[in-house]
Amino acid sequence: MKPMNLLALLVLTLIISGCATTGDPNRLNAFHDAQPKSILVVPPVNDVTDVQATTSVLATLPYFLGEKGFYVFPVNTVKTMLEFEGYYEPAEVHAAPPEQLANLFKADAVLYVTIHEWTSKYMVFATTTQVDFGYKLVSADGATLWEDRLQAQYSPNNNGGGGLIGLIVDAVEAAVERANPTYIPLTKTVHAQALVTPAGVGSHRGIPVGPYHPGYSAYYSQVTQASGEATND
């Protein structure tokens, strides 16, 4: 990711929270055992009414997985092939056996995403835009390799000051956010937090690097060393 692009995500006035398996030293053991090379991103289940949410997630997610070193099947091709196989609704895809989905594409793992929230709440002098995504990565044999859930919200910096002029400035900023919510930057920020965060031994968030990442060999050397030290203890 280009430094300026990452900076643009981080300078937003936002709040990020999540419920990863924090504190679990074994949270990535299954991932380390599987070491997937290719990931199939299936259409997200959208629990909100805005269809833009699904499009935005699918349009941005492959980039972050690619940055992490994995081959990602083209999402448009995936959608077409799934429909050819009779899977027209995301809920049907998520309910299908992961072994069956992975076999269709010869994928090593399947990534499921659920969009829990995608809203922009307008209150005249303040607008808050919020997204909430759940992630679950499952191996081709049906084992859960990694899962996480993250929420992020953004409210414009209301720096109009006091008095009538300050209120007018705040109202304008809120109206601008309402008219054009920062969904895409928030979506990218959540993906980055969930996936790109370094997943070192003892890390609470992020996934390990894939085989097309320059740090792949070094990472798994550390994993092997840490596993050996744990066994000796």
Average pLDDT of every residue of the chain: 78
Residue 210: CB atoms within 10 A of its CB come to 22
Predicted pLDDT of residue 161 = 47
State the pLDDT at residue 157.
Answer: 57
Kind of pairing between the strands at 144-154 and 127-139: antiparallel
pLDDT at 123: 54
What are the tens digits of pLDDT across the range 155-208? 665 444 444 333 333 443 444 334 344 578 888 889 988 888 765 545 567 899
CA angle 111, 136, 68 (to 5 degrees): 60
Q: Which residue has the higher pLDDT, 10 or 123?
A: 123
Lowest mean per-residue pLDDT among 16-20, 127-131, 139-143, 226-230: 16-20
Tell me how far apart the alpha carbons of residues 44 and 91 are, in angstroms, rounded to a whole number: 8
- Identify the residue with better confidence: 228 or 30: 30
What's the rounded mean pLDDT across residues 126-138?
86
Q: What amino acid is encoded at 80 in this protein?
A: T
Whole-number pLDDT of residue 91: 95
At 105-119, the pLDDT tens digits run: 999 999 999 999 888
Dump pLDDT digits (tens) for 3-49.
434 434 444 445 555 555 445 667 889 999 999 999 999 999 999 98
Longest CA–CA span in the chain (Å) reads: 69
Provide the residue type at 164 as one letter.
Answer: L
pLDDT value at residue 208: 92
| Per-residue pLDDT, 128 | 76
**What is the predicted pLDDT for the residue at 204?**
64
What's the confidence (pLDDT) of residue 153?
A: 81
pLDDT at 222 exceeding the cut of 90: no
Residue 119: what pLDDT?
80
φ/ψ of residue 3, rounded to 5: -55, -45
Is the pLDDT at 120 greater than 70? The verdict is no
